[in-house]
Amino acid sequence: MNNVPDAEGVLVFAEQNNGLVHPVSFELLGKGRDLADRLGVKLSAALLGHGVHKEALELVYYGADVVYVFDSPFLSMFDPVQYAKNLVRLVTETRPAIFLLGATRLGRSLAPRVAAALRTGLTADCVDLDLDENGNLVQVRPAFSGNIMAQIKTKTRPQMATVRYKVMKANARDPRRKGKVIVKEPEVLSDTGIQILEKTAVGGVNLAEAEVVVSGGRGLKSPGDIALLKELAKELGGVVGSSRPLVDAGWISRDHQVGFSGHTVKPRVYVACGISGSPQHLFGMRDSDVIIAINKDASAPIFNVADYCVVGDIYEIVPLLVQELRKLKAVKNLDERK
C-alpha cells in the first residue's frame, strides 16, 4: 500500500462504544469533510461493532459520503487485532490517501497496529491538520514537552494520524444529507491471542466531558491543598483539573492534567486557581466558554485569556467562593420548600 500514487479519498475510523458513536468521530468527520472538499475527493467512514447499523446514517448526517459497516457479534467487544485485521483489508481495498482515528484509549491501541500492517507512517496526538500546496497532509502535534508545534508530513500512503478529542469541530448534524452505506462481511480470526474476560468502566476523572473544571497550579503550596479545589468543584458540580507541575510533583494523577501533554477541555466554566498560564496549559483550556482566573500576580498570562480576573490569594478567594455558593444553595433550598 505504501507509496501508491493513485491513493485518494479521506477515511475516518468511527469509534463506537456499546453501539453509540464516540463524539470524537463526529469531530474527525468535520475535519475530514474540510480536507475532502479541498482535495475534491470523497469522505468515507469505517464503523465496526455489533448492532451498529443504526449509527451508519448518523455518520452520513455528520459529513460522510460513504459508510462501511462491519457488523458482527465477534466485533461487539473491542479486540485490537480483530479490528485491525478488518481495517487493513478495507484500506487496502479502498486506497484512501488520508486515514484518521481518534487519539482515544481505543484509537491509540488500534492505530499503530494498522499503520505497521500497512507499512505506512503514523503521527499520534495531532491537534491540527492542514494541506500543503501539493495536497499532502500536514499533521501538527506538540513536541518537546509541548514547547514547540511540529509539522509532520508522511511520504507513504495512507497518511495516518490520530487526533485528540475536543480539538476539532464537528459539523452541524444535517438529516437531509445523502450518502451510501455499504455493509462489509467481517473477517473473523479464530484466535487473536487476546482473551477478553470482562468489560469494566474506566476509573478516574472524565475531564473531556465535564461542564465545570476547577484547576490548580503552582500557586498551591502542598498536596493537601488540592482539597480546596475539590470543595469548590463540588459546589459547582464540576471536576478537578491540574496544570502539569502538580502532576510532575506527584500531587495529583495524570488523568487530571489539562494542556498539551494532558487533556484538551471545553467546559462551560473553567476556574484556574493559582495557574500562571503557560502556552502549554492555555492550549488545553482556551476554548472554554467562560474562564475565571484567580492569581495574586496581576501580570500572570492567564489573565490575557480569562473572562473574569480575580487578583488575590487563592487561599482567601476560594474559601469565600465556597462559602457564598453554599449560602446560595441554602437560600434556593429554602425557597423550594415554601
Q: Which of 100, 98, 92, 154 is nearest to 125 (CA)?
A: 100
Mean pLDDT, residues 121-150: 89
Q: CA 77, 80, 86 angle in degrees (round to 5)?
A: 95
Question: For residue range 15-60, what is the model confidence (pLDDT) as tens digits?
Answer: 999 899 999 999 999 999 999 999 999 999 999 999 999 999 999 9
User: pLDDT tens, 230-268?
Assistant: 999 999 999 999 999 999 999 999 999 998 878 889 999
CATH architecture of the domain 10-184 equals 3-Layer(aba) Sandwich (3.40)
Question: How distant, in Å, are the alpha carbons of 87, 136, 169, 173, 213 from that of 179?
Answer: 20, 26, 21, 14, 38
Alpha helices per DSSP H over the chain: 23-39, 53-61, 80-94, 105-118, 226-236, 244-248, 279-285, 314-337
| Per-residue pLDDT at 201 | 62
What mean pLDDT comes out for the span 129-149?
87
Q: Are 25 and 14 in contact (CB under 8 A)?
A: yes
Grid cell 474476560 in the structure block, residue: 197
- Express each pLDDT in 159-171 by its tens digit: 999 999 999 999 9
Residue 65 is predicted with a pLDDT of: 98
Task: Please state whether beta strands 137-143 and 148-152 pair in parallel, antiparallel, or not at all (unpaired).
Answer: antiparallel
How far is it, in rounded angstroms, from Cα 112 to Cα 106?
Answer: 11
Spatial distance between the Cα atoms of 166 and 289, rounded to a whole number of angstroms: 13
CATH 3.40.50.620 domain span(s) along the chain: 10-184
Nearest one of 197, 190, 192, 160 to 81, comparing CA atoms? 192
Which pLDDT value is given to residue 6?
65
Q: Which of 64, 42, 67, 65 is nearest to 56 (CA)?
A: 67
How does 286-313 read in b/e, with b if 16+ C-beta sit within 10 Å?
ebbeebbbbbeeeebbbbebbeebbeee
Question: Is the separation of the CB atoms in 53 and 22 below 8 Å?
Answer: no
pTM for the whole structure: 0.83
Separate counts of helices (H) and strands (E) for the chain: 8, 17
Look at residue 338 in the predicted model and tell me its pLDDT: 65
Closest CA to 252 of 214, 195, 290, 210: 214
Residue 2 identity: N
pLDDT at residue 283 greater than cutoff 80: yes
Write the DSSP symbol of residue 139. E
- Confidence at residue 306, expressed as pLDDT on a 0 to 100 scale: 96
Share of the chain above pLDDT 70, in %: 94
Q: CATH 3.40.50.1220 spans which residues of the chain? A: 207-337
CATH architecture of 207-337: 3-Layer(aba) Sandwich (3.40)
